[in-house]
Structure 1
Amino acid sequence: MPVTEPRRQGRPKSEEKRQDILRAASTLFLKEGFANTSMDSVAKASGVSKQTVYSHFSSKDSLFKAAIGSKCRSYQLDALQIEDDAKAQPMPKYLTKVGTQFIKLLQDPDAIALFRVIIAEGGNNPRAAELFYQAGPLATLDTLGAAFKRYGSPTLSTELAHKLAFDFCALLKGEFHTMLLCGLRQPMTDSEISAHVAPAVEKITTLFRAYCTK
């Protein structure tokens, strides 16, 4: 899952090296898989020492999760961005933005490739699947659930808020994501994404209102 974050003028050298390591690691995770990627190979690919890699990432697990988090951040789906948007926007507008970015992330070529790598390795290496779920889907669900809780406070329970987050993501993925992973359909255009997200937002908003009256 190559990281495509642009370098910025004036970025500290330590941050530059961190991004170099993330880019190299992301490429290797996609090319070699989680099990066959070592910290040594990441150091070699990024042009730094192994000690430098460990100075930024304590383990291969943390490096893998950071690479996934970086991809989410590039689509504004990291926890901080989701939380900030929830504070600043009405819920329908917020859900439309999150839903649109969520679909764009799902159909990102690197994200699709990573899903396939995780599925291929899952039987023999469940640890990779667990890390992927923690850093990607679970982190998104937890943050989105917290946003629903904020919008529904004080009447909406935490349990129902997280159920709304799960249901919203399920509505967005639907049959589309499975077909995409199987190579049975092409990514959506911007207009198709809008048409796909709108009814999901409408349905989850209706459900949200019903939960808030319980």
Structure 2
Amino acid sequence: MRDWSPDHPRAKVMARKRAAIVAAAEQAFVRDGYAGSGMESIAREAGVSIMTLYRHARTKDDLFAAVIESACHPVDMEESARIEDALKKPLADTLVFVGVMFQERIRGAKTTNLLRVVMTEIRRFPHLGGLAYDGLINAHVERLDSFLSTRDETSGMPVERRRKIGHAFFESLVGLDDYRVLLGLPAPSPHDICRRAEAAAQKVITELGKDLPVPDLLES
């Protein structure tokens, strides 16, 4: 889905329209499913013309991907400030913050509803699985890898190893309780979410420690 640069003369107006389009698309997908949602009806619900909708999203897949992104990576001034603050903390603390945030997002009502849409329509539209996985998992892996690449703890580490560690971090954050959420059963408690994030963060710290150079005692 198209993004508008901040210096665009109509950036604020276009951002509001984009938000309205994404909100209308989310409601349509959850209510009517992927197959039952049409571009024209989404434009009508968003209060924009069909031409305006196509300026923001060329296809329904673009819209679905944007809805997934909005559910998993919401743009909020307060949350952005929290993230910026967390990134300045020691690595272990930052990873715990990311781990808690990821679990809250992936088990949130919006994400759960969208996953149910995918599960319902996957036979007719198998590509929805890839769109959902990219937005839910790969986007988080990419952002964490980008962050880790700036840290001293990963200096000189091969890119593939760094990415593997990041991917394993997110794998440690999901489990059978995610199926419980999809089935409408109680989600993990905040305490359990925090403990899982702490355990996943410790695994990353341990793995990174394996790549630290061992001091040569003979040189001292």
TM tier, smaller: 0.7 to 0.9
Between the aligned partners of 1:16 and 1:149, the Cα distance in structure 2 is 33
* Structure 2 residue aligned with 1:169: 170
> What fraction of aligned residue pairs are identical, expressed as a percent?
26
8 Å CA contact 2:172–2:196 kept in 1: the answer is no
CA gap of 1:165–1:83, structure 2 versus 1, over 3 A, is: farther
* Structure 1 residue aligned with 2:122: 122
Between the aligned partners of 1:28 and 1:130, the Cα distance in structure 2 is 20
CA gap of 1:137–1:75, structure 2 versus 1, over 3 A, is: farther
One-letter amino acid matched to 2:180: M
Name the count of aligned residue pairs: 200
| Residue 108 (structure 1) shift | 0.6
Q: Which has the higher helix share?
A: 1
Structure 2's unaligned 5+ residue stretches are 1-10, 215-220
Structure 1's unaligned 5+ residue stretches are 1-10
1:150 is paired with a residue whose SS is coil
- Residues 93-102 or 62-71, more deviating: 62-71
CA gap of 1:178–1:75, structure 2 versus 1, over 3 A, is: farther
Within 5 Å, which residues of 2 pair with 1:1-214? 12-74=12-74, 88-151=88-151, 152-183=153-184, 185-212=185-212
Give TM-score scaled by structure 1 length: 0.81
CA gap of 1:75–1:162, structure 2 versus 1, over 3 A, is: farther
In the TM superposition, what whole-angstrom CA distance separates every residue of 1:84-110 from its partner, at most 9, and x where no partner exists? 568533211110110010111122112
| Residue 74 (structure 1) shift | 2.2
8 Å CA contact 1:75–1:104 kept in 2: the answer is no
In the TM superposition, what whole-angstrom CA distance separates every residue of 1:123-163 from its partner, at most 9, and x where no partner exists? 22112222222233111112212323332332321111111
8 Å CA contact 2:20–2:46 kept in 1: the answer is yes
